[in-house]
Amino acid sequence: MTGKVLLVDDEPRVLAALRRGLGDRFSLACASSGAEALELLDSHGPFAVLVTDMRMPGMSGLELLREARRRVPETVRLVLSGYADFDAVTAAVNEGAVFRYHSKPVAPEVLAASIEGALVRHELEKQANGQFDPSQRLLRDIAELRHALGANQLRLYLQPQFHLADATLAGAEALVRWAHPERGLLLPGQFLAAAAAGGLLGDITAWMLDAVCATARRWQDMGHPPLRIAVNATAMDLADPGFPARVREVLGRHDLSPRWLELELTEGAAVTDLDGTRGAMEELGRMGLDLTIDDFGTGYSSLGWLRRLPVNKVKIDRMFIQDIAAEPEACRIVATILALAADLHLTVVAEGVETVAQRDALAGIGGDIVQGFLFGRPEPAADFARWLAAGTTE
């Protein structure tokens, strides 16, 4: 097999964004339809990896996966899909047509890591077993994760966020880990694809909300200053009419003020269904929660959407932060986001700050809140209390 990758999506902006983000790491070919993809498989193959959207006019992603499996069974097949396509994804999984699954939008660096990891695992499995059955691996992971949710195997981790101006603690982001009994502590990238394919993302969100509210309540009862903690929510959460009520219930059950809970929504999730999203966000905002657009700048919308969504913050994706100290263009992009967000009275969080040079560059253009390894790595909630001595500011 070669290292060539075939990307298939009928949305030109998606295809262009992934081409820009992956072009330096892989030999790419792009197709805007299933029919075009099959022509490329025949004329320009073999491809090591096929990455396809599920919902396309004409030949669907599922039909393409079936045909690709028949023609080139050795090709690693990945899916990009919206939250409404789980039935098709599950069908593809059951047929052994899919190796991995990603919800849209996906950051190019995340997809790149997934492609590389899938290729390595594919080769190792072939060498070890003489054959590879992707459907059984994914179905096993889904079953194990479903068991983990009821067996107290998930763990709450927190990463601190700081005010850049005075280095005081501003809040924390909640992250999930899976304490797998055989494979050890797993990061989200190692199991969220199975969660999405198995329809378990909402269950993980519910677990996170309960764990965060219980932890925040316990800390306050111990006399620690209150801390705002952010939990990630998915497009499926926002599409569920009962989601705001469930958030209200968990806050009430733990007697926690909504002001200490924040929801982070990916940019793509926030605009998938603008009317439905706005209604859910407005109800959550009326409850008193802070709402943040996460991974800002990597999706398919623009700052113009923020005028139509009731958000309090935007979190600039790390891909814009990593080069801010070395590339003037990256610095100008971040400065523009900061200026426009200020006009809209939004707070800005910069994630992925790992060097002093990045911190200083942000300080020079008026950064608000920072998060990253330079300030603190994610750690178990039980170990996080030491950060609380720094206090919080409003």
**Per-residue pLDDT tens for 26-68?**
788 899 998 999 988 888 877 888 888 878 888 888 888 888 8
User: Measured between alpha carbons, how far is 266 from 260 in angstroms, rounded to an integer?
Assistant: 20
Q: How confident is the model at residue 215 (pLDDT cuts 50, 70, 90)?
A: very high
CA angle 154, 162, 206 (to 5 degrees): 25
- Work out the pLDDT band at 393, boundaries 50, 70, 90: very low
* Closest-CA residue to 217 (of 261, 173, 156, 169): 261
How many domains does the chain divide into? 2
Look up the pTM and report it: 0.68
Could you tell me if 217 and 347 lie in one domain? yes
Residues 324-363 have pLDDT tens digits of: 988 888 898 899 888 888 888 889 999 989 999 999 999 9
- Residue 82: give its domain's CATH number: 3.40.50.2300
Q: Are 77 and 53 in contact (CB under 8 A)?
A: no
Whether residue 79 sits in one domain with residue 17: yes
Q: Considering the domain boundaries, does residue 137 fall inside one?
A: no
Res. 15 pLDDT band, cuts 50 70 90 = confident
Do 195 and 326 lie in one domain? The reply is yes
- DSSP codes of every residue in 260-275: GEEEEEEHHHHHHTHH
Q: Does residue 364 lie within any of the structural domains?
A: yes
Positive or negative, the CA dihedral 255, 384, 349, 394 is positive
Cα–Cα distance between 330 and 339 in angstroms, integer? 14
Range of the domain at 336: 142-390
